[in-house]
């Protein structure tokens, strides 16, 4: 196991690094280019699709090292469709339907078919959870470094949790591959992006993460622990959706109202500072989540509530800062 872990971690790092480099240099020549628009946080056309190395590393590890071949194929389908989206425009409704269908198959694979009304409701929740997380991750991949750093930390903690606390070696191997793969991608995306993950990377990372939450969550205790590994992405996405619903916005339409977007676009905070602030907060609360998991459900609830309250307070404070005032102080 140790030799396989080292070998496939090294392969994942190299595959991600090499393909990120290839796409950064040649992506624009094959139409993999992200042109700035009014919603963008970048100002120059930048190649996208650099996450193809993550997809390949994921498939390599999932097929040849673990017993999760069926899941690997299903998630791989989502990844390849997302790669097509990076190259050509696929209708949003068609992509959503595909994600929902594949998500339902994954849920049935991990939990079985529901045998009661409560089980059916939970089944439906898991489908929405996977699809939502895949899109949340994609929405949050909007500035240099944020998606790669989040993936490195989130999947790193997922690997630790799987190896040492619940002994799910297959999940741990894939999580390690994706964590190290994100690390291999970062030299081309942080602190200054020469290539973006694209949908192929961001949607895949969100899809697999949520699927593993379901795989590992035998109780509310595991669920509360694991979602904290991606706490900043969940918090920013959910609060933003709630605020947009209050405004009467169409939540399906693309926008630039996330907290990280406000910090970069309106307050003019450098991308790398915002990404590091998100990553460091994520790291701290992931550590606290592991500590609380060992202590019991009461401690977990305390950590969860503390994070939610802290995020809401910081969200309100930052959103109330006027761009002109902050810029003058800078």
Domain count, the chain: 1
Q: How many CB atoms lie within 10 A of CB 190?
A: 21
- Tokens standing for residue 287: 């550590």
pLDDT given for residue 328 in this prediction:
39
Question: Could you give the angle at the alpha carbon of 313 between the alpha carbons of 311 and 316, nearest 5°?
Answer: 105
What does the pLDDT look like over 139-181, one tens digit per residue?
Answer: 999 999 999 999 999 999 999 999 999 989 999 999 999 999 9
Q: What are the strands, taking DSSP E only, across the chain? A: 33-34, 46-47
Distance of CA 164 to the CA centre of its chain: 22
Contact 159, 128 (CB under 8 A): no
Domain containing 265 equals 2-329
Contact 275, 146 (CB under 8 A): yes
Contact 34, 48 (CB under 8 A): yes
DSSP letter (8 states) at residue 48: B
For residue 232, cis peptide bond before it (omega within 30 degrees of 0): no
User: Could you tell me the CA-to-CA distances from 245 to 217, 241, 249, 254 in Å, in that order?
Assistant: 30, 6, 6, 14
* pLDDT tens for each residue of the chain, 330 residues long: 678 888 889 999 999 999 999 999 999 999 999 988 777 788 889 999 999 999 999 999 999 888 899 999 999 999 999 999 999 888 888 999 999 999 999 999 999 999 999 999 999 999 999 999 999 999 999 999 999 999 999 999 999 999 999 989 999 999 999 999 999 999 999 999 999 999 999 999 999 999 999 999 999 999 999 999 999 999 999 999 999 998 888 777 777 889 999 999 999 999 999 999 999 999 999 999 999 999 999 999 999 999 999 999 999 999 999 886 544 344
């Amino acid at each position: 196991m140790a030799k396989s872990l080292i070998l496939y971690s090294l392969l994942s790092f190299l595959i991600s690094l090499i393909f990120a480099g290839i796409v950064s240099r040649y992506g624009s020549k094959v139409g993999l280019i992200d042109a700035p628009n009014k919603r963008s946080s970048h100002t120059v056309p930048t190649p996208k699709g650099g996450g193809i190395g993550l997809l390949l590393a994921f498939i390599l590890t999932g097929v040849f090292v673990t017993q999760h071949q069926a899941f690997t194929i299903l998630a791989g389908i989502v990844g390849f469709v997302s790669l097509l989206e990076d190259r050509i425009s696929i209708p949003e409704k068609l992509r959503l339907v595909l994600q929902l269908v594949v998500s339902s198959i994954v849920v049935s694979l991990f939990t079985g078919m529901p045998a009661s009304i409560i089980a059916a409701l939970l089944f439906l929740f898991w489908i929405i959870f996977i699809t939502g997380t895949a899109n949340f991750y994609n929405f949050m991949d909007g500035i240099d470094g944020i998606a790669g750093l989040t993936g490195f930390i989130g999947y790193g903690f997922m690997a630790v949790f799987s190896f040492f606390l619940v002994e799910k070696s297959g999940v741990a191997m894939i999580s390690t591959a994706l964590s190290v793969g994100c690390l291999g991608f970062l030299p081309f995306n942080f602190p200054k992006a020469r290539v973006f993950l694209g949908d192929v990377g961001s949607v895949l990372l969100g899809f697999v993460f949520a699927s593993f939450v379901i795989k590992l969550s035998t109780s509310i205790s595991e669920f509360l622990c694991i979602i904290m590994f991606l706490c900043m992405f969940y918090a920013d996405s959910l609060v933003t959706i709630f605020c947009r619903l209050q405004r009467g916005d169409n939540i399906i339409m693309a926008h630039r109202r996330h907290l990280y977007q406000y910090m970069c676009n309106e307050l003019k905070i450098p991308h790398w500072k915002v990404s590091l602030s998100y990553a460091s907060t994520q790291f701290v609360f992931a550590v606290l989540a592991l500590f609380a998991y060992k202590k019991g459900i009461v401690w977990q609830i305390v950590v969860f509530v503390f994070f939610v309250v802290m995020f809401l307070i910081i969200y309100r404070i930052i959103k109330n800062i006027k761009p002109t005032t902050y810029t003058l102080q800078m």
